Amino acid sequence: METRESVPDQETKENKRGRNVTVHNYWIRHSQKASGEVFNKEATGISLSNISTGGAVRAEERGRTIEASKHGAKGYKSTSERTQETFDALMRGYEESNPGVPIREKVHIRQELVAPSGTPEFLQEYNEKWSANKARLLAEGIAAGKYPNLEFGKLSPDQQEEIAETAEEPVIREWIDNQDSSMAKNFPPRIQASKFAGLLDRHSRMTRKLNSGSEVDLFHNTHKTATEPFLASGALIRQSDAKRIGKLEDIGGSLRILDQWESTTQTDDKGNETTTVEIRGEKFDLDNERLQELLKSDV
């Protein structure tokens, strides 16, 4: 993987920076894990599982579908190894489909991409609800002949993923979509939404620092629960019907394995910025006033 500058070598004499710049952000959840468990054995934090062999293949295939920006890609990750592994696999496919496009080898850690730990009470309830759903789904699947009569951890990665994702969806929706839930009271989603808003804002303002005419792809490899609170914070307004997004159900639920959403910030020839968000094929505008409220909350 070649390391090259991801901005133009030559600058014009006037308006050297921030004009006609495009920063395309991919906020992407890691690929399939070898273990479908959400938490570690002590339930004090998320699972440390690496991605599965099939997960690496899926990420590489995804990378092949991405048409590169003119000046290539740069990566960011959480502290989890599987986000680095996902980025590496994505870039193998990205590079294959876009030969010669520069890719920065160094991947920077961003704490905002780490799955939030919340409070001990929050983690305990989240894990208990997920575990109960998991046990029920496994028992139902065995009874119906869908799964072999095995413990969850002995199922294939695909089977574990199917159960784990289905089991977690109602839990994350209860936390984010129901402000009166005990999980939301123990760990308000707004805390994570505000934290993530700061990261989004910094990368949106990156256009001001890049050489005029730059077009770059930024890949942010993250986890479920890291970006969803922001997506449902009211900062996004759907272009098709002007609906303000206040719940996960408004966008079809949480991020699935290797799921992604995108934010693109562009500047015109005067340096004026516009940011558009795309989630599952739908376009959204970013409400700057609401964004500023979240940024102030983070401070």
Domain boundary among 158, 186, 214: 186
Same domain, 236 and 99: yes
50: left (phi over 0), alpha (psi -120 to 50) or beta: beta
Same domain, 294 and 200: yes
Range of the domain at 163: 120-186
Same domain, 76 and 106: yes
Number of domains in the chain: 2
Domain boundary among 163, 186, 209: 186
Is residue 100 domain-resident? yes
Same domain, 147 and 198: no
pLDDT tens figures, 3-24:
233 344 444 445 689 999 999 9
pLDDT tens figures, 149-178:
999 999 999 999 999 999 999 999 999 999
pTM: 0.92
Residue 15 is predicted with a pLDDT of: 64
pLDDT tens figures, 66-112:
999 999 999 999 999 999 999 999 999 999 999 999 999 899 999 99
Virtual torsion, Cα 262, 267, 268, 271, nearest 10 deg: 170
Same domain, 151 and 207: no
Same domain, 219 and 98: yes
pLDDT tens figures, 225-281:
999 999 999 999 999 999 999 999 999 999 999 999 999 999 999 999 999 999 999
Cα 190 to Cα 197, 207, 236, 287, distances in angstroms: 10, 27, 14, 16
Same domain, 30 and 78: yes
Same domain, 106 and 211: yes
Is residue 287 domain-resident? yes
Same domain, 195 and 147: no
